[in-house]
């Protein structure tokens, strides 16, 4: 009976999420401690976190509207419910990724510099810019899924977007105006998606 309760507890989505976040935090701390003597770009882990998250959001939102929505609609779930669940998951993912990024920066500075700060070593413009990229890519994936873009074209587009992001981050300086433009575009895109999703024949 106790084993069954424990199994049911561990199978809850919230518990799984907490366990994954905890493992990520531990791995980040261990990686900083073990590799502090190696001259690596301090931004690598942050880029990986947001890069993987952005691509995952892109793929998830595309799959949601192209493949999963018809099944959910057949089960009696309304389009409004589906959309707002998607939006909720997007916002939660953003906050979790920001928390992980801030944690990484704080631990990095504490271990290497003995400072409890994130602004002296990291460019805050990049830290704010990356979540906006996630927001826009998630909205784009949702939009492409509505119009059932062919999978081959979608995956080619995913590769091109990934390469483009890497080039922008490595070779160009991220300005605040670009972050604001991405934020405004992402919000506008999500609003457009909402009305398209309500009316488009899936």
Running along the chain, 202 residues long, what does each successive block of 10 average in pLDDT? 58 59 64 57 66 78 82 85 88 79 74 64 67 84 83 78 69 71 87 87 67
> Which pLDDT score is estimated for 26?
67
Residues 6+ apart with CB under 8 A from 150: none
* pTM, to two decimals: 0.72
> Which pLDDT score is estimated for 55?
77
> Which pLDDT score is estimated for 19?
66
Q: Where are the domains of the chain?
A: 2-199
How many alpha carbons lie under 13 Å from residue 69 in its C-beta half-sphere? 27
> Which pLDDT score is estimated for 77?
85
Specify the DSSP element, H or E, that contains 167: helix 151-171
Instruction: Please answer whether residues 18 and 90 qualify as being in contact, where contact means their C-beta atoms are separated by less than 8 angstroms.
Output: no
Closest CA to 121 of 103, 108, 135, 131: 108
> Which pLDDT score is estimated for 173?
64
* Tokens 């366990």 belong to residue: 19
| Tens digit of each residue's pLDDT (9 = 90 or more) over 139-185 | 888 888 888 877 778 778 777 877 777 676 666 666 677 778 888 88
> Which pLDDT score is estimated for 50?
72
* Tokens 């919230």 belong to residue: 14
Closest CA to 59 of 128, 161, 127: 161
Instruction: Please answer whether residues 105 and 118 qualify as being in contact, where contact means their C-beta atoms are separated by less than 8 angstroms.
Output: yes
> Which pLDDT score is estimated for 130?
76
Go through the chain and tell me how many residues it has: 202
* Tokens 């999500």 belong to residue: 190
């Amino acid at each position: 009976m106790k084993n069954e309760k424990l199994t049911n507890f561990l199978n809850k989505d919230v518990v799984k999420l907490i366990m994954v976040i905890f493992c990520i935090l531990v791995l980040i701390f261990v990686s900083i401690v073990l590799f502090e003597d190696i001259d690596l770009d301090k931004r690598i882990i942050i880029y990986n976190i947001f890069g993987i998250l952005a691509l995952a959001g892109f793929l998830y939102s595309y799959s949601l509207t192209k493949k999963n929505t018809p099944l959910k609609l057949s089960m009696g779930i309304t389009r409004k419910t589906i959309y707002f669940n998607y939006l909720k998951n997007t916002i939660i993912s953003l906050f979790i990724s920001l928390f992980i990024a801030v944690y990484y920066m704080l631990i990095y500075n504490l271990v290497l510099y003995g400072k409890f700060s994130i602004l002296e070593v990291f460019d805050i413009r990049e830290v704010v810019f990356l979540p906006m990229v996630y927001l826009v890519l998630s909205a784009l994936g949702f939009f492409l899924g509505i119009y059932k873009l062919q999978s081959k074209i979608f995956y080619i587009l995913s590769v091109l977007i990934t390469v483009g992001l890497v080039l922008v981050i490595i070779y160009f300086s991220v300005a605040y105006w670009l972050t604001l433009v991405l934020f405004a575009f992402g919000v506008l895109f999500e609003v457009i998606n909402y009305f398209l999703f309500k009316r488009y024949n899936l």
